Amino acid sequence: MTQEWEPHGPFNACDVRLRDEHPSVVLRDLQSRRRPSAHIVTFANEKGGVGKSTFAFHCAVALAHRAMKVLVVDCDRRQQSLHRFLEARDGTARALMIPLPRPNHTVLEAQSGALLVQEIERLGHDWDYVLIDLAGQDSPIARRAIALADTLVTPINCSPTDLDALGRINPVSRNFRHAGPFAEVVTDLRAERMARGLASFDWIVARNRVRNCEHRLLAAVDANLATISRHLGFRTIEGLTERVAYRELLPFGLTQLDLRFIPELGAARWTNLREMSQMIDGLQLPCFGAKARSPAFTKLSAPVPERTIQNYRDAMAATLTSRFD
């Protein structure tokens, strides 16, 4: 078969290998290994800047608050954004001596499907959910994490350019032209799974970081999303709106759900809590009887000096200027 070369740009052997890697190779690789028993949720989008790691972080913490046993695997070994959010969360819990509901977390240093499965197995067998956060690019590990998923979550911003990764729409006729590059990878892997007699994954596109001023643009994006979803077979949910209150808590590894543990920072607004609850409910993840459990809390180490605790609280109070947004 004649290889198609890009008309410009440097030669990239990795790109060639990815184009040559048939979905059957990915599925054959995964089927040769024991699949984790947990429900696997993969967060993937080849376009960066969509708030994917932030979305995954809020999902992980919300599930931990619901007493679910959650393992988070950050596959972006360069940025490690999700892992850093969760490390900050552990640091806040220890600095303030406050037990916070805690997802377990790790970074996948060696990028291979075999080591992804091995790392999940190494960290335990009793997880309810394994959340996998991928880097914003196509890669062998990304394809395997997508093919392994029970639920695939693709956050997008309210932008026509974000839709291009999913599908191309004629701006005049509004007709569907063809699938975008990321969507082609997803649909090919899904088709290969079904061809092998495996269940399809639930593909969810989440409108994320929507601003209140974008209502007119949002209507156009929604119309295009509806058109693309009819051709590609995903469903859409609401993610988190763009709120200062969410962003200010991130450096401390906190969400609006955690404010009840730190009352001096003020109570979370009901609208924010409702938004987070609707986001998790929209994923329609299976329930594992967590009502009979207590959440897994951060293990606290040796006592922290009172002065250190006060300094940390003062820093948080100075940072969270819009805690009621």
- What three-state secondary structure class fits 19? helix
Q: Which pLDDT band holds residue 13 (cuts at 50, 70, 90)?
A: very low
Q: Which pLDDT band holds residue 16 (cuts at 50, 70, 90)?
A: very low
End-to-end CA distance of the chain: 57
Average pLDDT over residues 34-53: 91
Beta bridge partners of 206: 155, 237
In sign, the C-alpha dihedral spanning 310, 313, 318, 319 is positive
User: Could you give the count of Cα atoms lying within 13 Å of 97 in the half-sphere of its Cβ?
Assistant: 9
pLDDT in tens, 136-147: 999 999 999 999
pLDDT beyond 60 at 14: no
How remote is the C-alpha of 22 from its chain's centroid? 25
pLDDT in tens, 266-283: 788 888 899 999 999 999
Q: How far apart are CA 105 and CA 133, in angstroms?
A: 11
Question: In 10 A of CB 28, how many CB atoms?
Answer: 12
The domains of the chain, with CATH numbers, are 21-284+298-319 (3.40.50.300)
In sign, the C-alpha dihedral spanning 244, 245, 251, 253 is negative
What totals of helices (H) and strands (E) does the chain contain, helices first? 12, 9
Percent of the chain, pLDDT > 70? 88
Q: What pLDDT sits at residue 5? A: 32
Q: How far apart are CA 84 and CA 4, in angstroms?
A: 39
Q: What is the mean pLDDT of the chain?
A: 85
Q: Which amino acid is at 320?
A: L
pLDDT beyond 60 at 125: yes
pLDDT, greater one: 220 or 153: 153
Question: In 10 A of CB 314, how many CB atoms?
Answer: 10
pLDDT in tens, 90-107: 999 988 888 899 999 999
Q: What pLDDT sits at residue 297? A: 76
Q: Which amino acid is at 56?
A: A
pLDDT in tens, 177-223: 899 999 999 999 999 999 999 999 999 999 887 776 566 677 778 88
pLDDT, greater one: 245 or 140: 140
Kindly give the residue spans of alpha helices, DSSP state H, lying in 151-251: 160-164, 181-195, 215-232, 244-249
